[in-house]
Structure 1
Amino acid sequence: MIRDFLICAVMGTMVFYSVESFASFRVCNGTKNLIGVAIGHPSSQGGWMTQGWWQIPGNSCETLLKGALDSRYYYLYAEGVLHGEHWIGNVQMCVGQDEFKIMGINDCYARGYLKVGFTEYDTGQYENWTVQLTNPRKKDKDAIDAESS
């Protein structure tokens, strides 16, 4: 009887830790090309924070945030490193040209940062979330080309 209890206790502990270790916000790059990814999320100090760049090779995944997700909304921006693809959205946030961690999403240019459109992801009540980035639609690429002309 004690043996059965110990086996159940060990198995329960293993399940608890394995579920916790998988809790995360992940991004998978479904293209053949290297992409740079930035994420926006609530800061533990209040307000919003953006951080990047994660370099994700083609056909691979990267964990951006480890642990159970404690917010409902997360924001993502990505761009192709070599070919200039963009995955953009309507929520304007700050990014740096090099590796960055930026507190706040206002006055990007005045603080020496760029402002780009992040895509919103509603994770609901899930502790895990994975975003699959595939080749951007031609319409999105044309919109970027028109903005940069």
Structure 2
Amino acid sequence: MRFHRPALCLALLTAGLLMSAPAKADLRMCNTTGSRIGVAIGYRDAQGWVTEGWWNLSPRGCETLLRGTLAARFYYVYALDYDKGGEWTGKSVMCTRNKEFTIRGIEDCLARGFDRSGFFEVDTGEQKSWTIQLTDNNTPAAPRP
């Protein structure tokens, strides 16, 4: 995973919601930075690859990206820091665009009129629910119960 702004790093310490009390089964993203963040996700469903964006997360805010029990083990994330610049990126290239989108397929992005962005992989360990935390410091965030 590459990060293009030296002051930021990614903390992917996450936790499935394993408490005995009933919990919503969702894919959530928490922004622990002081900046506004834009988030796009990629995943594989029954019909193939899908990328979706943009969720706008306020500083220190959380959003539900996908509702319900997670259907895949791996999800992919690309995020932009709107206030300070920089991005959280990885090696998995998928299609995006500048405005709200849902794109089927990850091939021929440019030929189809989309941008190509590098997404980082999130391994949920086949949990039913998962929270991803983006941070801007060098110490990982604690897992979320």
TM bucket normalised to smaller: 0.7 to 0.9
Hey, what does 2:90 align to over in structure 1?
A: 89
Hey, what does 2:33 align to over in structure 1?
A: 31
> Partners in 2 of 1:97 and 1:77 — Cα distance?
13
Aligned structure 1 segments of 4 or more residues deviating by more than 3 angstroms: none
> Partners in 2 of 1:43 and 1:136 — Cα distance?
33
> Partners in 1 of 2:63 and 2:36 — Cα distance?
12
Hey, what does 1:145 align to over in structure 2?
A: none
> Partners in 1 of 2:45 and 2:73 — Cα distance?
13
Q: Report the TM-score when normalising by structure 1.
A: 0.75
Q: Report the TM-score when normalising by structure 2.
A: 0.77
Alignment-mate amino acid for residue 47 of structure 1:
G
**Matches of residues 62-81 of structure 1 in structure 2 within 5 Å?**
62-81=63-82
> Partners in 2 of 1:125 and 1:53 — Cα distance?
24
Hey, what does 1:115 align to over in structure 2?
A: 116
- Larger RCO: 1 or 2 (CA < 8 Å, sep 6+): 2
Alignment-mate amino acid for residue 67 of structure 1:
G
Contact 1:28–1:60 (8 Å) recurs in 2: yes
More strand by share: 2
Q: Which has the larger radius of gyration?
A: 1
Tell me how far 1:43 sits from its aligned partner: 2.7
User: Runs of 5+ in structure 1 lacking a partner?
Assistant: 1-14, 138-149
Alignment-mate amino acid for residue 88 of structure 1:
T
> Partners in 2 of 1:124 and 1:30 — Cα distance?
23
Match of 1:41 among 40, 43, 47: 43
Hey, what does 2:7 align to over in structure 1?
A: none
